Every structure is written in structure tokens, then in C-alpha cells.
Amino acid sequence: MKFWIRSKGTFHKSITFATPMSPPPARHKAEYKHGRAGWVAPIMEKQVFCRALVSASWLSGALKSRPTLRVLDATYDKDAGKQFSERHIPHARFFDLDQCKDQASPYEMMLPSERHFAEYVGRLGITNNSHVVVYDTDKMGILSAPRVWWMFRVFGHRNVSVLDGGLRNWLKQGLPVTSENPQFGAETFRAKLDPSLLHRFEDVRDNISSKRFQLVDARSPARFRGPEPKPGEGIEPGHIPGAVNLPFSTFLTKEGYEKSPEEIRRLFQEKGLDLNKPMAATCRRGVTACHVALASFILGKENTAVYDGSWSEWFHRAKPEHKVFEKN
């Protein structure tokens, strides 16, 4: 038997269950499923890997039993490195988004080259056989981790997941943190760019007339429309013509977990977005746009692209008539 189940805020798809059993203790009932044949317990060893999300309870156990597991703290904050040195999940390594990007680009968060990415993650002890789990420490639960999840996928590594609920819920469950830095050697990682998951400026510019794909903007409504004060020096709010606003925060529960597949699907439907048609995501700098890619991935759409330059590039390169700004 296979079901969707929820365990500590995370939905797992197609988990195989054991034979029917008597009702479980009330305190553990949320971890079981009641089917036509009665209560059944999950066989956790048969969970499907390479899924988008893992729970804190699963990660806690996997840290003790899976030598190819690599955990990355991908917090994007000016004090992220300092915070990591003070507190992180055991065995985690720090992924610095400001270091793993195109340093020569004038825009905020452009992808590095294949070679740069391969060398960077190799120095973190990651190989092509590693199962990578990414988290961040934001109070929302999940903020920048999906960017690193997408980066691994765009460079050909599919065995990557996001820790559902982030460090916020890891701590809430009473799981350990440490200030100890893990000892690891450099490894060899081979990166191969998947262009289907990446859109450039020219792709988005041409799409204004061709309408080849749906463009989803993950920023707040105020930054999308324009009334909110400019989010950064030299960059005013506004959006790309034809973009649909679906704020990344709507994919998260108030507890900081990813919403259920049913809730996520409804969010796309309410915006008139068709998951059967090509889709790309944008935001301010290409970070929260990756929430759209993650959310659609959860629904089985694995080919949502991200406009890497996003608004920070578009604002500086696009023609004035291609920048929509709604004044108060």
C-alpha cells in the first residue's frame, strides 16, 4: 500500500507500508496511516531518495547511518558565517552563496561556471554520489535553501533535498546543534549545466512577445506592483510584463514548513497557472524564485526554470516600456 503521509510537517510521497497492525499509541498516531485494512506503519528504509523535502526526524537518523550524506547550511545573511561557527546541525558544512556565484557579474546572484561550482562543492567534501540536504536558519523556516537545491539540480545533481522547516523546526524538536567544525577532505565533483532549468535575459525578453512560458514572480505584492520603497540602491520596484505574482511566502505554513501538495496546487490554480505548460520563476535576485521551482517540483513538475538575473538584472537591462510600475 502507498499513501501520502505527514510526519512532523513533511509530506512524503509513495512510502511503502508494512502489514496491517493494531492502532498505534496516541502520541505516535500522526506517524501512521489508517487504510481499509487497518493501521499500517511505514517502512522507513524504503523511502524514496532524491525527493525534494526531508524531515528533521529523518535527517537526525540519517546523520548516524548514511556516510554519503552531506548537510549544507545555506543561510544567506551578512552574519551567516559567524552564526554557523556558533551553531549548526552536526556535520553540516557552510555553503556561502556570496562565494559560489559569478564574481565578475555586475548583478547580484548569477550562477558560477560549471568549473567554479564543481570546485566549490568539491572543497565541501561533496561528490556526485552524495545525497545533499540543504537548510537555512531563517525565522520563516525556509528562505535561501531552495536556491542551493536548485543550483545542484541545474548543475546536474539530482540527489538533493531541502530540510523541511529549516533550523527553526530542528531546534523546536529538541534536536542537537554544535559549534564544532566537521573535518573533511576535498572531493571531486563533476558539474554539467542543464540549460532547461535556467533562463537568461534574452529568454525572458523574447517571451514578452512569444509567450512560450508562464513567468511567475515570487516577490511580495508591494515590490511586484511598485508602491513599496526600492529594495536596494539603484533598483526600483516593479515587474516584467506578463509576470504573475505568487509570493514565495505563500508556500510556507506559519510554522515554517512547506504546505501540503493540495494547498500548493491550489495556489497555482488560483493564479491561473497551468502546471502542464512551461514555467519559469523570477524574483529580486534569483533566490526566492527557487521556491516556485521547489513547489512545482513537489507537484511533479520537475522542469520549472529560474531566471537567474531576475529583477536586479532586468531593471538595468530592459527597455523602459518593459518595466511595469504601478504608482499609488
Report which of residues 272 and 5 the model is more confident about: 272
pLDDT at 210 (0 to 100): 98
Whole-number average pLDDT of the chain: 86
Confidence of residue 164 (pLDDT cuts 50, 70, 90): very high
Averaged pLDDT for residues 20-35 = 39
pLDDT band at 183 (very low <50, low <70, confident <90, very high): confident
Domains along the sequence of the chain with CATH:
2-46 (no CATH), 53-172 (3.40.250.10), 195-322 (3.40.250.10)
Instruction: Indicate whether 229 pLDDT > 80.
Output: no
pLDDT at 184: 87
pLDDT score of 108? 86
Q: What is the pLDDT of residue 221?
A: 94
Write out pLDDT tens, residues 123-136. 999 999 999 999 99
Give catalytic residues, as residue numbers.
283
Distance of CA 39 to the CA centre of its chain: 33
Q: What is the pLDDT of residues 275-318, one digit of tens each?
A: 999 999 999 999 999 999 999 999 999 999 999 999 999 999 99
Extract the runs of DSSP E, i.e. beta strands, from the chain.
Answer: 2-7, 10-21, 33-35, 38-42, 53-54, 69-73, 93-94, 131-135, 160-163, 198-199, 214-217, 244-245, 279-282, 305-307
Count CB atoms within 10 A of the CB of residue 18. 11
